[in-house]
Structure 1
Amino acid sequence: MPRTIALLTLACVLLAPCLRAQDEAPPPAEAPAQPDWSETAPPVPEQTAPGAPAIDFASLPPQIRLGVRVALVRQNIPVHSTVVIVPDASAYIEAIGEWRTEARFPVLIDDGSAEAAESIARFVRAFRPDAVVRWPGSGQVWAQSIEVLRQRVDDAAARAFGAENREKIRERWEELRFAPMGVVVASIKDPAWAGALAMAAGYGQPIAWVDVEPRSLAGEVAPEEIAALNGAVASLCESLELPFAGFGDAVDAFTVCLNMPTKHPGADGPLAVTDLLGRNEQKLRWAYVGLMPGDAPTSAYRAMCSLFLNPRSGWFVDGYESRRETAGYDVNRPAAILRERGVVSVTDRSPGVGRAAWRSRAALGVDAGFIHLNSSGQRRWFRLLKDDVDASDIPLLRTPSIVHMIHSFSAQNPDDGQSIAARWMDRGAYVYFGSVDEPYLRAFQNPQTMARRWSSKAPFSIAVRVDGLEPWKLNYFGDPLLTLTSEPQRKPGAPALSGLEPLDGLLRAAIRERRLADAARMLVLMGRDEDAAGLFAAALADKDHEVSPELAEACFYPLVRAGDVPGAVSAFERMSDRARRSNIAADTLWLAARPRLALVPPDLRTAQVLKANVRPHASADDAEALAPALRRMESAESVRAWLQTLANETKNQKDRQRLTELLSRY
């Protein structure tokens, strides 16, 4: 029997009885602290080396058993060292349909948008492939119906696990002696089905189809919607004869790949949908749940990150002042625990943390596969010691990140583009854990226990939650099966897809034909930021040709990441009005360029570009940084007139007060 099948079999032959300790009422405050299950569980040997010792599943807590099952799937299916980029959802289905238990490969959708290019580039920088290729698909014409599309998705997921189609998947599971560890919920009318396909194909999970349209993440769901989603999972499990009713059975998690409201009305304010789902009538948890929304390129990106990436680096930020109630939230020890699992982290804590330190760290983007933040505040700002930091200062992410944020209200409205959760996810976080309301500090798992649980092979969705709580206010966005695992074997060469086009060949043709914007985009997709920055510099120096808005837009983010801030400023002023109005682009410009205002003399060009691009959501903050530099170049009367215009235009009363006070200084 091939090694892959043998280890998949090992993952599921021992399923211990369900343990419900985490669903019991928490002990009274005066009771002595009990050791966490991650402290008493036996160590789990890695299963990738030949002759690795067998795992005694019966001795493991069910939380760790689930993670071990995930790890055995992820670690033991080889991965082609090639990233495949497809143009649309149809080619995406076909590409994933070519996955097998013998090998698979990342597939990402490029719809031509700047957002898709940045997501692909972010993934490529983390995955470090031997090659990046385009694949247009087979060219086969499919009937345009919901039924056909759903059938194609189901069949592609089944083929990834070696079944001919969805009707044969149970036979394949029996052949492998494999029990799915989770279920995926999706609607073929909602573009997030793209993430559902990857989650199903990657882990061998069946899809529970529901008939709903995509909706806003804002607002609240009705109780009957929670019951319907739970019921869809339960019905599918029953039809497939998969045990699910207690945690520790076969199905212990499910991923909701829908664009839907993230809150539910509760007696003490809104509750988190992902903490309500996966519970029975007694509110006991039988499954951990994650929500994976997004359009097709975004949901595919989030799924591919979960399936193919492990964080190598981390960033821990402790914004709490030293107080008795925050003593258990220190970040040094969790950083050390994760370092033992290969996540090498930096820590920022008192006294070296605050707005200035944050901006310095964030200026050119952050390369951290895992980010933990202790803070307080509201939906659009967070406090580091005594400094309030606006969500607009959340940095560009160089590589995809898992973000764990101890902060009230950060996920209150993920559709609010100026809110903390939205900023992190828009910048590339593929997993986000945060609060929809005021949960109180003790509702958050302390960082040390979180890190120890995650390192012990419990999935991240389990590691971050406090056991024994009733449904509460913390939402989990992303793959609930995400687990720290050893890297699978890298398989050289590209997958056997007819018509693959290596990007480096397409790049040479674009440069030869002087299609510089196309060439820059390809460089970005291959993770070659310095070369994209060099291409922009050469184009800027060419006096016979103007730099097009398309070239400027393709090169702006690479210029920032390459540290060429003057070049980024030049690119930004040449971008289209639409591109400059992007919150992400404007915030990135201000984070990168703000330090140049303190130069003596100030950078005149940078000051002029920033003055022309003051952000409506941060006008007072921008003015406070820019006014002193302008005063060294302009008259006081000119600065006052500019400040008065900003004060008249802002709709934010607090910003208007700050601008009025600033005006009085000039």
Structure 2
Amino acid sequence: MMVHRFEEYAHNPRGRSAVCFVATASPGVLSYRFLCEAISQLYARQLSVVGMGAWGERNWFKEMDIDMKDDSGKTYLPEFILADASGKLLGRLGAYTEAEELDAFFGTHLPGDQAEADTPPLRIDLKALFALDQLLSPYAPFSDEAGVAADAFLTTLAPQFSGLTSVSWLRDSLAAAQRLQTPTDRYALRRPVASLVKIAPDVASYCAELANWDSHRVYPVLLGNTSWTAKFIRAFEPDEIVQLEPGRTSSTSPTEPTILRTLLSSIGAVAEATPSLDDLNAQMIAASGGVPIGAVVIDPASPLALAGMALASARYQPVILASSPGPFESVPSFSAAEEMRKTMLTQIEALGVPYESYGDSLDGLTLACEFPFRYHSSPRDAERGIRALDDLLTRKNNGARWGIAGRLMGDAGSAVYRAMCSLFLAPRQALFFSRYSEGGAPWKHYSPRTAAAAFGEIVPCQTARHKEATIDRWKALTANGNRATNVFINSSGGAFGWSVSGGKAKPEDIPDSVPCQVHIIHSGSAARPRDPKSILGRWLEAGAHTYFGSMSEPLLEAFVTPDRVAARLFNGFPLGMAARSLLGPYSFPWRLVYFGDPLAPLNQELKKTSVGTDAP
């Protein structure tokens, strides 16, 4: 028997004598990561390992008659299918509980003398490994039990496995998940917010006014008398509004020296006539207390530069000045995308600040520049296809997150509006709209009941759950426009349609809105970010300043459950961090995306101070 579509799927660039297909329903779980890597190491000279995902390669699974469940019908185990270099099936193993069974399988089926006598045994407690998968499930309440089980598993590993990237990934990701359990205030603004709005008519006056921020206070600076400015002012309700005079130059984008001088002055530092980027970043890092919460990538030629400058200053973030690595619509190969990731990691390391400890070091990467949106995954990965480049950029070499990325969008005026919203607006009302059933798994895990109760403690909260989540109910809740500053939607569909109970809704059913954060569990709502007729595009046009969703089919398990998102938010973590999976089956670089300031927390403690008579 031949392996179906062997030539299409077999990735064997080094010409090994065998190819091992590892079929999985959960390509991000520890057991899959570990077993793929361990087998690749043990049989490095004999075979090439290729992952196969049950969703993306589901037709292949049918052709190969693969059932991912074990005899209990509960646990999903990786299945091993071994073929020679021509595609001839050598053997398969789909039900096993002991490592000795894996050793025997490869020893029996590898061709000729490929199962070398000196190959060490796997020596791994598979039962403990699979049990740990269950403890780290996105639906299991995160507890100390998971940490204890992980430590116990790690202590039993043979020395040859201690350096595997899956092992370091587990250590890093588990520690990060534990940090997100602890309340923090490190993402809150460090300077008082004045109840003042200044409106700049052009780039020069905007930069000049941003330079008037200092070490004692900050305040919103908007660009132009636009509908964006009016929307922000209605939400912020300042004591005073100041219309600025035009600047001295007519440039449509800031120069690099202007960016450096503006940012230095805006944090109360002395700006030399010809400041350097090193000078700026040294001052930013010092102002942050030595451990900045993020970094901002700014392309001076981009219309997003002005928004990036405000976020860098307000949050004391060092800056990376860079030109675009490629157009938004380009789709680089995995190797090209991986080079972008490595380049970004090198630039982060060059800042000389702690970044590896996700949750209490440099955690955010703001993209105030043009960047490719999608990339092609590796041909060896399970669930091959299009993925979100932003989710790859903030990964360490072992695949664990060092941070989260946020992509700024729009023209200069709308991007500045969104930056000011994330910095200076507090929650006023929440809306939870979920069409998911609450009676059975997995849908019941995404019930907004607990999250809505948490928000209801601080702001008025409206909910529509399951059968109540109809189009008529949606229109009634938003009859006067969306008034909720925090919107959570559970739906399904694509970029141009979303399901409601008993029917369908369209992007045009999304009304004009107050400035808001949007979290949407849905397939592909963010697939067409620049199309105003798409779901994401419509929310951005309506007034959303941050948005978390998916750019292609991610599968439900990729999303963090609403109760856990809310718990992290109320612990003080930004939405971008609260919504990202760390240990789940789709915690590898995947298809979920975040638009806006990645370090925007709830701001529920934000207070405005009176302007006084000494306003600049």
**1:417–1:271 Cα change, 3 Å:** same
Per-residue CA distance 1:589-609 (angstroms, 9 max, x = gap): xxxxxxxxxxxxxxxxxxxxx
Q: Is the 8 A contact 1:402 1:432 kept in 2?
A: yes
Question: How many Å apart are 1:130 and its aligned residue?
Answer: 1.0
Output the CA distance in 2 between the equivalents of 1:175 and 1:201.
10
Give the corresponding residue for 2:485: 369
| 1:307 shift after superposition | 0.8
- How far is 1:491 from its partner? 2.6
Equivalent residues of 1:259, 1:294 under 8 A apart: no
Question: Offset of 1:37 from its aligned partner?
Answer: 6.5
Change (3 A) 1:269 1:121: same
1:97 aligns with 2:211: yes
Matched residue, 1:420: 535
Q: Are 1:210 and 2:210 matched, yes or no?
A: no
| Structure 1 residue identity aligned to 2:185 | V
* Contact persistence 2:260–2:280 (CA under 8 A): no
Contact 2:425/2:603 (<8 A) preserved: no
Cross-structure match for 1:164:
270
Q: 1:390 to 1:489 in 2, by over 3 A?
A: closer
Measure, in 2, the Cα distance between the counterparts of 1:378 and 1:276. 23
**Alignment partner of 1:31 is 2:143:** no
The whole-number CA distance in structure 1 between the counterparts of 2:31 and 2:269 is: 43
User: Where do residues 162-241 of structure 1 align in structure 2 (5 Å cutoff)?
Assistant: 162-165=268-271, 167=279, 170-171=282-283, 173-174=285-286, 177-212=289-324, 215-216=327-328, 218-223=329-334, 226-227=337-338, 229-231=340-342, 233-241=344-352
Deviations 1:20-40 (A, max 9, x none): xx9966974773465426999
1:77 to 184, 191, 194: 191
Given the superposition, is the C-alpha separation of residues 307 and 67 from structure 1 closer, same or farther in structure 2, using an over 3 Å criterion?
farther
Displacement of 1:411 in angstroms is: 0.7
Which of 291, 295, 310 matches 2:407? 291
**Residues 226 and 494 of structure 1: is their aligned pair in 2 closer, same or farther, counting only changes over 3 Å?**
farther
* Contact 1:109/1:300 (8 A) holds in 2: yes
Report the Cα offset of residue 246 of structure 1.
4.4
**Cα separation, partners in 2 of 1:28 and 1:277, compared to 1, 3 Å:** farther
Q: Give the structure 2 partner of residue 478 of structure 1.
A: 596
Name 1:308's counterpart in structure 2: 424
SS of aligned partner of 1:68: coil
Tell me how far apart the structure 2 counterparts of residues 348 and 449 of structure 1 sit (CA, whole Å). 19
Deviations 1:468-520 (A, max 9, x none): 2111111111111111245444232278677xxxxxxxxxxxxxxxxxxxxxx
| Alignment partner of 1:317 is 2:433 | yes
User: Is the 8 Å Cα contact of residues 287 and 316 (structure 2) preserved in structure 1?
Assistant: no
Q: Verify: 1:328 aligned to 2:328, yes or no.
A: no
Deviation at 1:65, TM superposition (A): 7.1
The 1:347/1:168 distance shift into structure 2, 3 A limit, reads closer
CA 1:360–1:91: 2 relative to 1, 3 Å: same
Q: Which moved more, 1:468-477 or 1:61-70?
A: 61-70
1:263 paired residue among 374, 377, 388 = 374
RMSD (Å), alpha carbons: 3.1
Structure 1 residues 486 and 396, CA, compared in 2 at 3 Å: closer, same or farther?
A: closer
- Return the alpha-carbon distance in structure 1 between the equivalents of residues 351 and 591 of structure 2: 32
1:391 paired residue number: 507
For 1:496 and 1:40, locate their aligned partners in 2 and report how far apart those are by CA, in whole Å: 54
Pairwise CA distance, 1:186: 1.7
2:248 is aligned with 1:140 = yes
Q: Equivalents in 2 of 1:494, 1:226: separation in Å?
A: 50
- Give the Cα separation in 2 of the matches to 1:336 and 1:362: 20
Give the structure-1-normalised TM-score: 0.62
Who is 1:109 aligned against? 223
8 Å contact 1:23–1:285 — kept in the other structure?
no
Question: Which residue pairs with 2:462 in the alignment?
Answer: 346
2:363 pairs with 1:252: yes
Counterpart in 2 of 1:649? none
Structure 1 contact 321–385 (Cα < 8 Å) conserved:
no
CA distance in 2, matches of 1:80, 1:457: 22
Aligned pair in 2 of structure 1 residues 356, 408: CA closer, same or farther (>3 Å)?
same
Contact 2:388 2:593 in 1 (8 A): yes
Q: Alpha carbons of 1:151 and 1:23: their partners in 2 closer, same or farther (altered >3 Å)?
A: farther
Cα distance, 1:64 vs. partner?
6.3
Contact 2:434-2:489 at 8 Å conserved across structures? yes
* Structure whose residues are more often strand by fraction: 2
Q: Judging changes above 3 Å, is the alpha-carbon distance between structure 1 residues 40 and 346 closer, same or farther for their aligned structure 2 residues?
A: farther
Does the CA-based 8 Å contact 2:572-2:601 persist in structure 1? yes
Provide the aligned length of Structure 1 versus Structure 2: 447
Contact 2:295-2:319 at 8 Å conserved across structures: yes
Kindly state the Cα deviation for residue 314 of structure 1 after the two structures are TM-superposed.
0.7
Secondary structure at 2:488 match in 1: strand
Q: 1:121 to 1:432 in 2, by over 3 A?
A: same
Task: Give the AA of the match of 1:479.
Answer: D
Aligned with residue 357 of structure 1, among 473, 483, 487: 473
